[in-house]
């Protein structure tokens, strides 16, 4: 069984050894991804010199923005689509190309099951639909979670210009409310508070930077809970990136974000770039084996504290980093 088939089997309920498979993925990407290989060679990191997944070089997310740099293990002729990071019209966006979405779908569904996240009841998307946002990894994720391509009418409440259309939002049975933090907070300004049916829950992601007034994650949760009548214990925060095919989740009152067993994390000292000591704050790096066809090891601009090999306390973005993320698309389209 080839490497991709073994990864898919693992994500679909089989078994896998992260440490061993991470080294296999690194060797494969070193051989097939020319841009990544050159980056690793500049650091004098090759498969022959790497003894642990912890030593695999992580690629900074900004490299996905460089024009003419192909971060893929397959030829251009096999590209069938790509995801783009959000940003302003003038901002260069990161681009994550793919030749298929098998691993993406398997990772999304596998993680949801393994982490015991809530069932997808009748969904309401405070988002654009896939036809209007074909390069949004978040919108594609929403469709995967629903198990089907969801029609644009009725369940999607934001148009291409970022305007809300809430006339059809009348949940009478337990509902799943999904959207970026910015979209959901803005929705609170667009409609009267309401008490959703018992058993409803909220999925929010992306932070609130980009609004006229920024809110802390705690303030976002409190506002959504009060406005929709959903206990904070039934609010799910997702941590994901366009550059990754796997996600991390913080459910209810948990302190940490957790990922599935085919991801690993490490925290790097902000000043030295060396591994941070236990309990210390540093840059979050993620090794995502679902990124088999591109680059598995990614260095984010987020600060965190490690709690385990795939669990962390998220502290937020480095203040020196430019605001970005899936929430930005809504903010840029709808704010003056």
Spans of all domains in the chain: 105-255+321-334
3-state secondary structure of 41: helix
Model confidence at 331, pLDDT cuts 50, 70, 90, reads very low
Window from 64-73, 260-269, 327-336 with minimum mean pLDDT: 327-336
Helix (H, G, I), strand (E, B) or coil at 108: helix
* Mean pLDDT, residues 274-303 taken together: 96
- The encoded tokens of residue 179 equal 């959207």
Q: What distances in angstroms separate CA 52 from CA 18, 49, 104, 300, one per listed residue?
A: 11, 9, 25, 20
Q: Report residue 165 as tokens.
A: 């259309």
pLDDT band at 98 (very low <50, low <70, confident <90, very high): very high
Read off the pLDDT band of 146 (50, 70, 90): confident
Q: What is the Cα–Cα distance from 146 to 142, expressed in whole angstroms?
A: 6
> Which pLDDT does position 87 carry in this prediction?
63
Tokens of 332: 């840029």
Mean pLDDT for all residues in the chain: 89
What CA dihedral angle connects 8, 9, 14 and 19, to 10 degrees? -60
Spell out the alpha helix ranges (H) of the chain: 3-11, 18-32, 34-42, 102-114, 137-146, 181-190, 217-228, 327-334
Q: What residues have CB less than 8 Å from 318, skipping those under 6 apart?
A: 270, 283, 301, 302, 303
Of 73, 103, 142, 113, give the one whose Cα is nearest residue 245. Answer: 103
Give the list of residues 6+ apart from residue 331 with CB closer than 8 angstroms, or none. Answer: 182, 210, 211
CB of 281 closer than 8 Å to CB of 305? yes
Which distant-in-sequence residues (6+ apart) come within 8 Å of 275 by Cβ?
Answer: 54, 266, 267, 268, 269, 282
pLDDT of 320:
67
Residue (of 200, 11, 237, 54) closest to 124 by Cα position: 200
DSSP H helix total and E strand total for the chain: 8, 13
CB atoms closer than 10 angstroms to residue 115:
15
List the single range of 48-57, 308-317, 321-330 with lowest mean pLDDT: 321-330
pLDDT at 128 over 60: yes
Average of per-residue pLDDT across 132-137: 93
- 47 or 316: which leads in pLDDT: 47
Max alpha carbon distance in the chain (Å)?
61
pLDDT of 209 reads 61
Please list, residue by residue across 160-189, b when 16 or more beta carbons sit within 10 angstroms of its beta carbon and e when fewer do: eebebeeeebebeeebbbbbbbbbbbbbee
The three-state DSSP-derived secondary structure of 259-291 is CCCCEEEEEECCCCCCECCCCCCEEEEEEEHHH
> Does CATH number 3.40.50 belong to domain 105-255+321-334?
yes
Tell me: pLDDT of 55 over 90: yes
Nearest to 331 by CA among 167, 152, 91: 91
3-class SS of residue 305: strand
Flag whether pLDDT at 210 surpasses 70.
Answer: no
- Tens-place pLDDT, residues 148-201: 655 544 488 998 888 898 888 899 999 999 999 999 999 999 999 999 999 999
């Amino acid at each position: 069984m080839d490497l991709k088939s073994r990864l898919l089997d693992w994500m679909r309920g089989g078994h896998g050894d992260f440490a061993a498979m991470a080294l296999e993925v690194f060797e494969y990407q070193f051989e097939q991804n020319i841009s990544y290989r050159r980056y690793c060679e500049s650091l004098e990191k090759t498969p022959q010199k790497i003894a642990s997944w912890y030593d695999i070089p992580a690629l900074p997310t900004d490299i996905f923005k460089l024009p003419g740099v192909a971060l893929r293990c397959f030829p251009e002729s096999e590209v069938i689509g790509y995801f783009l990071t959000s940003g302003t019209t003038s901002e260069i966006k990161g681009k994550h190309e793919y030749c298929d979405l098998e691993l993406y779908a398997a990772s999304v569904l596998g993680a949801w099951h393994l982490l015991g996240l809530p069932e997808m009841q009748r969904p309401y998307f405070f988002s654009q639909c896939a036809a209007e946002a074909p390069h949004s990894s978040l919108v594609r994720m929403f469709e995967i979670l629903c198990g089907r391509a969801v029609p644009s009418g009725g369940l999607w409440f934001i148009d291409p210009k970022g305007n809300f259309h809430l006339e059809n939002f009348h949940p009478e049975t337990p509902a799943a409310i999904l959207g970026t933090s910015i979209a959901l907070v803005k929705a609170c300004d667009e409609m009267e508070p309401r008490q959703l049916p018992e058993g409803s829950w909220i999925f929010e992601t992306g932070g609130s930077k980009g609004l006229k007034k920024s809110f802390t994650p705690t303030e976002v949760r409190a506002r959504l809970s009060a406005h929709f009548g959903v206990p904070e214990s039934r609010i799910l925060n997702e941590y994901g990136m366009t550059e990754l095919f796997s996600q991390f989740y913080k459910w209810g009152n948990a302190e940490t974000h957790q990922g599935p067993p085919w991801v690993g994390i490490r925290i790097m000292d902000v000043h030295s770039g060396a591994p941070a000591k236990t309990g210390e704050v540093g840059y979050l790096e993620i090794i995502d084996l679902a990124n088999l066809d591109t680059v598995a090891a990614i260095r984010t601009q987020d600060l965190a504290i490690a709690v385990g090999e795939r669990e962390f306390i998220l502290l937020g973005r480095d203040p020196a980093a430019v605001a970005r993320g899936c929430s930005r698309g809504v903010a840029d389209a709808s704010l003056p």
